Structure 1
Amino acid sequence: MDIASLLETALMASDAATRNSAEQQLSQLAEQHYEEYMKQFAKVLLSGASVQGRILAALGMKNQLTSKLANKRIEQLNRWISASPATKATVKDAAIKVLLSDSPEMTTSISQLASAIALIELPRSEWPELLPIITENTKVSCPLNVKRSCLLAIGYICESADANDPAVIAQSNGILIAIANGIQSTEPLAQVRLTALNALIYSLQFIKENFQREGERNYIMQVVCEATQSPDVELQAAAFGCLARIVQLYYHYMSLYMEKALFVLSMNGMLSPNDRVACMAIEFWSTICEEEFEIAYQLHEQSERGEPASPDLVSYNFSLLACGEVLPRLLTLLTKQNEDPEDDDWSVAMAAGSCLLLLASSTGVYVVEPTLKFFATNIDLPEWRNREAAVMAFGSILEGPDIEQIKPAIQEAIQPIESLIRDPSIQVKETVTWCLGKITEIALSALELEKDLEQLLSTLLVGLSDHSKVSVNSCWALINLLEQLCAETQDEPTNPMSKYYENFVQALVLLSNKPNNEFNSRASAYEALSAFVTYSALDTMPIIQRVAIEVLSRIQSTISLQQQGLSIENRAQLEELQINILSLLTNIIRRSSSEVASAAPDLMNMFIKLLEAQEPNALIEEDVFIAISAVASALGESFLPFMDSFVPYLSQALRNVQSQTCVTAVGLVADLAQSLNSKIAPYLNGLMDILGLAILNNDIKRELKPAIISCFGDIAGVMGPDFMQYMDPVMQICADLTNLVPEDSSYDSMDYVSSIKEAVLDCYVGIVSGLSTKPEALVRFLDPIFLLIRHVASDIELSMNESAARSAVGLLGDVAAMYSDGQLRNYYAQDWVTEFIKKTRGNLVFSQQTKDAARWARDRQKRQIA
């Protein structure tokens, strides 16, 4: 069977076995004969095969060039780079020909293929003819689908490329010319202008130099502003979205444009009869508020650290200056809610509420008086939209002003808001409980609890038995109350919520037993029950014990259901329920740790049954492991009898390096080490072998590597000198990772490298702690330890990261304390050591604990260099 026929079969065959066989053959060809695969697919692309077959050919080649998995992406990049020039030329020529073929069906797939090639070649300064070809074919006179394909390709390239890659940035002029061709008002086809506008949104981060030039900047702003006035509403909406992105990236250039055009355009846009346009115009102001809040926050942080204000941190206070006009418009738009209470589609009212919250955050007290007037005018009106808008407005301004400034208003408004809990409108009741949630989250201090708490709780109790959306917010408000009123009362005889436990726990147990999870209401009830467990005082423990009995009964019932054989949909729903129950059970175990010993055999038997019954990669495995961790923590070394039956499941999860459960399993190994101490030794060889193989596997999930390194440190800390048998390979891995550099300049890559170095630091802390009585065993590893600390000291981000800085200076002190005075003079006399300790101790933002660690390090350093 030829390639075209295989593609047709893989796509169209009615028999699943036939389709799967064709897909496997194609996959084998790609794996074993890569270049032949690409050439044959390119041939299909240009052939008379069906449109579906040609689309599949384009996507098949694209999927061989890009992947969401970083390691896979690197492998694909290297395979393409290593391919012969003839093969690459064949594929690129085919891609260009189809890109320019004016085929509407191929537009998306061929632009994805062209961009996938470009994302490999442009950073290498290859395929120089691509952008000139694209630019030439975005002119007004070109066919519709050619222009769309070329502009889509630019959008895909800019969406995924590294914004700091100099080779891609060097192409910014060509990118901008092509986009300008498509976006300008002389382009007669709105579809082309829309595609160009979307491409511009993605390209904005690449055209910084163009934006710095006033003439080019003016032209970009002109064509985008013109697009807001197009009769095509999709184009209008995209234009306002583009303006929001421009404000986000280039706020410091916006003063003139705000004065000349942006203010008027956006204010008019908010009144558009088209909801999408209105929402995007509101989003423009939301972005302004976010940017100005961020500037104010950064200036405050710099002031707190005693640093001078950065000259590039300048706020034009657009939100404050426009508050008098923007605020009334937002308040009016709050009444444009969806009619159906169960319709969660983004609405103008939702956008206005979100913007009002941000406006309050950026302007503070200036929103208060107009909003309170709006609240008072609308709260009692017969139309439900006005009542809902009044409560939404009130809740949306709570995060901006100082609570003391609005304390009288909250005290005055709380009763009218609570009275609406029996309103005939579901939307009103939902917003009432949301507003009460906001008050309990950030403004509880404004209430007089002796007078207000009883009525507040009565309102929330009513809310629990109402519509699912109302009950969800009631649960959230209860969690906020427990966190704020009972955070430090677990060991107290009673707490402010104790006398309400009986009614609320009973209501939540009932709510959590509903047959469905409509609007996440059942999960919210379990979350609220967990909060009642976590923050329970001693006088409520009998109630918690009754909850425990109910929870164990429910989890046993789900196991029985699981054994009956369920459909995929029912199994997923059951797994979701089991996860909720397990989360609550885990909190009960933690809260009742002294009573876990007697129940441990039954608990572990139940957990093993759950693990046995799961499909591969089931989400519930993580939650079972977390529950087992809670049991181990409660039992300590008494957990040892359960290890033989559990370790096979733990080992299996550790080997499944592509599963999220593996990350949880690594954390569980660390927890078991902390619980069992040296009694984990009989199982350590097997676990360390699996962890060692995992960390050397290039296909593991990114977050797994730092988790494993930290886990090595936890094991070393409890095993002490007995960890020496693993020291050489572990220290070699740590030394290699100390020199790790980001694969590119993206935030994700740089953050990943920082997380790796923090994990190595944690590992060294554990190793040093474990060898504290054996300093002679550590001597040959001091060089890599000090090299890492120097990396931390010289890295701006890591040295300003408090946990990393505290660990690093603590490590300096601990190592010095292990050796007699002067023995490590050569290490501690280095200038960077003194400077790092001084910098950490003098950081105004760091906590006293970190500063004490720095003082300890300085004291031990002085002894070494005296």
Structure 2
Amino acid sequence: MSYPGSPVSNEQSIAAVRLAATNALNNALEFAHAQFEIQEQRNAIVTTVCDAARAGDDSVRQAAFEGLVKIAEHYYDKLHERIVDIYALTENAIRNDIEPVAMQAIEFWSTVAEEEITLIYEADAAREAGTVPDRRSKQFVIKALPYMYQPIFDSLKKQEDDPLEDSSWNVATAAGACLELLAQAAPDSILELVRPFIQRNIPDKANWRSREAAILAFGSVLEGPPIEHVKALVREAVGILVETLQQDPSLAVKDTTAWTLARVVSVDRDTTLAHLPALVNCLRGTLATAESPVLAAHICFAIHNLAVRFSEECEEETGSLREHIEALLQSLLQAADRDDASEGYLRITAYEAINALFRSVSKDGIPFVLRCVPHLLEKLVATLGGLPRALNEDEVSDMLELQGLLCGTLAVASHRLNSTQISPYADSMMQAYLQAFRMNGSAAAIEEALLAVGALAEAAGKEFNRYMPHFMPTLQHALSNIAHHQICAIAVSVVAELCRALGKELFAYSDNIVFLLLEALKSKSLVRSVKPPILSCFGDIAMAVKGNFENYLDQVMNCMKQAAESSVQVNVLPDDFDTQEWLLLLRESIFEAYIGIINGLRDEGKQELLTPHREWIVGFSEWIVQGAAQGGAFPDEMIKPIAGVMGDLVDAVPSTKEHVARNAWLANLVDRGSQSTDERTKETAKWAWATIFQ
């Protein structure tokens, strides 16, 4: 026991004070930009942190390395002054220190790598634009790799005794994540370091840690290095990976192998295609016998990536997967039904893989999708019946999760089916979705059910109108659900799908819909991200109800004018990219709405109703083109919508042509658009030129 005044007590007291001081400094680092601009103060701060990183107390060292991470994050450009000292500190910590300190040392290099990856992207963007980047990478990662790679590789072998049971962040997982970033920050040099480590450790039959570390290293460096070098490595390894997943006695090794195969199929189509039958058989067989839900989830992830890979290819190559679709779907459905499917994200990953397969199948594979619908619908009905009988919160949570997943998968299936194919199941689907709404379950389940209704409407077309009296109360409630903005946003997207499905038959319900959309726009509590979709939705409604949009024209146009004027008043900082992106989306949505309204009214000869609004539309377009919104910069993304609106306006109301054609800004805009590399922008600009200026 220690007593006041004893040496141990004094040491503990000193360490406690130093720890508190180090933590206080860490908390201040983010706000020390002024101090870091002064060399004397900067040196003092970094020296203090580095000295603390050598302290005898474990907690002080850990806090000091946390400080170094913050310095790397906020003051990367100043690191070069002390980087040699930091090399030595981090290398020693990773090799020799306790796990929490070693993890922070690894995190330092992950942070540096992230910064240098960003700088690589910025340099590439500047090169494409013919400009000079504001900052340049100091290539700390490339210079450090010859000294740092071995400690990182050694850390990969420091797994937990049962990695699948203990999913917490540890030194091995931190090293794997760091290696992924290093591969992107130093793409030209990482493979020559990793390859010998892989070749030396994969054959180590006596040590599962070595095998697992080697496969993790392989999977971690597939993104970043030149693709031809990656493909060469994949061709060497894919057969070994398949055999390892099937035969390795270690569950941890098989799990990492499944994750690595998921990455392999994403990066190398040719090798995947060459090994497709063996790969599919391996994934199906190991999924059926997977001892752990975590392993099964990673196998499902590999199947998901396989489906995504083929969905990106042409119909002929997708056909290579077609003969395996039905068997893969059966395997995934069985995995989703496992008793332990709620563990390790297995159920979620299985349904995501099913959705990817549904999306990837070619037209002649649609019957496979259709055959799954009764099974999925039966399971959804079972969850709805099971919810009232759930015994505890865990059971309720599981049921609601499954309900949402089934609604989501039925939505994906509906998107692939036509009205004839979906007709036999439409009544049962809609009945189940309405029951899900009545049960008022989790927000996630309601969101998925709304999406499923929208997909059913798209597939059923005008036949969906018979469900509208039953669905309208739910839709109205969702549109007015400002507190749950995601539900409101999805409801807006459902309205757009109803517009396309019902056409003029939507007019029976559009009064309430338009009123609720206008109310949502006026709400100060609705998050701003929902407002652009609402604005563009007015264009969808106009295209659906045609001349009947006259009933809402003045209200909607005034509301859009207010939204446009408010966007002018927003003060956007140069580095506030979120607000810049939102303003761009808002203005694009306004012009999309104008296009829908102009064409909807013109289709029934009511385009003259636009006359009171022409001057504002033209004036707002000019204001954006002149660059006032972006401090002198006009975004390319606005060329197509503005050219489209101007062309549609002149086409619909020819008396506008003489006034519009005199605007030099418009001629310059259309000329710029006709030279665009985007084909849709170029096509719209050429059409607008012919309509307005010829």
TM-score > 0.5 by shorter chain: yes
Tell me if 1:665 matches 2:497.
no
Could you tell me which residue of structure 2 aligns to residue 756 of structure 1?
Answer: 586
The aligned residue for residue 716 of structure 1 is: 542
Amino acid in the other structure paired with 1:263: Y
Counterparts of 1:829 and 1:249, CA distance in 2: 51
Residue in 2 aligned with 1:808? 642
Query: Residues 225-374 of structure 1 correspond to what in structure 2 (within 5 A)?
Result: 225-259=50-84, 261-305=85-129, 307-310=130-133, 312-340=134-162, 341-374=164-197
- Aligned residues: CA RMSD: 2.7
Is 1:765 matched up with 2:592?
no
Instruction: Measure the CA separation in 1 of the matches of 2:86 and 2:19.
Output: 24
Q: Are the equivalent residues in 2 in contact too, given 1:742–1:750 (CA < 8 A)?
A: no
Of 184, 188, 195, the match for 2:23: 195
Question: Could you list the runs of 5+ residues in structure 1 that have no partner in the other structure?
Answer: 1-184
Equivalent position SS for 2:459? helix
Deviation at 1:433, TM superposition (A): 0.6
Q: Structure 2 CA distance, aligned partners of 1:488 and 1:269?
A: 47
Is the counterpart of residue 735 in structure 1 residue 561 in structure 2?
yes
1: CA distance, partners of 2:61 / 2:691: 66
Closer, same or farther in 2 for the Cα pair 1:550/1:598, shift >3 Å? closer
Q: CA deviation at 1:487?
A: 4.1
Cα deviation for residue 282 of structure 1 reads 1.3
- 2:332 aligned residue: 508
Residue type of the alignment partner of 2:187: G
Show CA shifts across 1:448-478 (max 9, x none).
633x222222221233131212211211211
Q: Is the 8 A contact 2:113 2:141 kept in 1?
A: yes
- After superposition, the Cα gap between the structure-2 partners of 1:486 and 1:690, relative to the gap in structure 1 and judged at 3 Å, is closer
Q: 2:461–2:502: 8 Å Cα contact kept in structure 1?
A: yes
Compared with structure 1, are the counterparts of its residues 193 and 638 closer, same or farther at alpha carbon in structure 2 (3 Å cutoff)? same
Contact 1:190 1:232 in 2 (8 A): no
**Aligned 8 A contact 1:486 1:495 in 2:** no
Residue 848 of structure 1, aligned match among 675, 679, 682: 679
Partner SS for 1:370: helix
CA contact (8 A) 1:240 1:281 kept: yes
Does the residue aligned with 1:497 lie in a helix, a strand or coil? helix
8 Å Cα contact 1:792/1:798 also seen in 2: no
Distance in 2 between residues matched to 1:829 and 1:291, nearest whole Å: 49
Aligned residue number for residue 348 of structure 2: 523
- The alpha-carbon deviation at position 318 of structure 1 amounts to 1.4
Instruction: Check whether the contact 2:595–2:645 (CA below 8 A) recurs between aligned residues.
Output: yes
Post-superposition CA distance 1:402-426 (Å, at most 9, x none): 2212333221111222221122222
Partner of 1:215 in structure 2?
40
Shift in Å, 1:644: 0.6
Does the residue aligned with 1:484 lie in a helix, a strand or coil? helix
Amino acid at match of 1:405: H
| 2:4 matched residue in structure 1 | none
Deviations along 1:762-818, one digit per CA (max 9) or x if unpaired, are 222322232345442222212332344345431449977655443233223322333
Partner of 1:608: 434
The one-letter amino acid paired with 1:599 is: Y
Corresponding residue number in structure 1 for 2:453: 628
- In the alignment, the residues of structure 2 paired with residue 186 and residue 316 of structure 1 have an alpha-carbon distance, to the nearest angstrom, of 38
Question: 1:655: how far off?
Answer: 1.8
The one-letter code of the counterpart of 1:352 is A
The secondary structure found in structure 2 opposite 1:254 is helix
Alignment of 1:458-473 (within 5 A): 458-465=281-288, 466=290, 467-473=292-298
TM-score under structure 1 length normalisation: 0.72
User: What do the CA deviations read for 1:323-357 (whole angstroms, capped 9, x no partner)?
Assistant: 21222221121111122222111111111111111
| 1:581-632 residue CA offsets vs partner (Å, 9 max, x unmatched) | 11121122222223112322222122212211224x6321111111111111
Return the alpha-carbon distance in structure 2 between the equivalents of residues 826 and 235 of structure 1.
73
How far off is 1:828 after superposition?
A: 4.3
Once residues 257 and 212 of structure 1 are traced to their aligned partners in structure 2, the CA distance between those partners, rounded to angstroms, is 15
Q: How many residues align?
A: 666
Shift of 1:300: 1.3
Displacement of 1:238 in angstroms is 3.4
**Aligned partners of 2:634, 2:351: CA distance in 1, in Å?**
38
Look up the equivalent residue of 2:23 and give its one-letter code.
Answer: T
The alpha carbon displacement at 1:372 in A equals 0.8
Contact 2:369 2:413 in 1 (8 A): yes
- When residues 486 and 743 of structure 1 are mapped into structure 2, their CA distance, relative to the original with a 3 A threshold, is closer
Q: Structure 1's 331 and 547: CA in aligned 2 closer, same or farther, altered over 3 A?
A: same
8 Å contact kept, 2:116–2:139? yes
SS at match of 1:777: helix
SS of 2:406's partner is helix
Residue identity opposite 1:847 in structure 2: D
The structural deviation recorded for 1:197 is: 2.9
Match of 1:61 in 2: none
Q: 1:269 offset after TM fit, Å?
A: 2.7
1:553–1:437 distance in 2 versus 1, CA, 3 Å: same
Q: Distance in 1 between matches of 2:186 and 2:443?
A: 47
Query: 1:558/1:186 Cα in 2 relative to 1: closer, same or farther (>3 Å)?
Result: closer
Q: Deviations over 1:681-716 (max 9, x none)?
A: 011111112222222122223333223222112112
Residue identity opposite 2:72 in structure 1: V
User: Are 2:469 and 1:644 aligned?
Assistant: yes
Gaps of 5+ in 2: 1-12
Deviation for aligned residue 1:847: 2.1
Q: Distance in 2 between matches of 1:539 and 1:811?
A: 39
* 2:599 partner SS: helix
| Aligned partner letter, 2:651 | A
Partners of 1:838 and 1:252 in 2: CA distance: 42
SS at match of 1:365: coil
Q: Percent identical across equivalent pairs?
A: 28
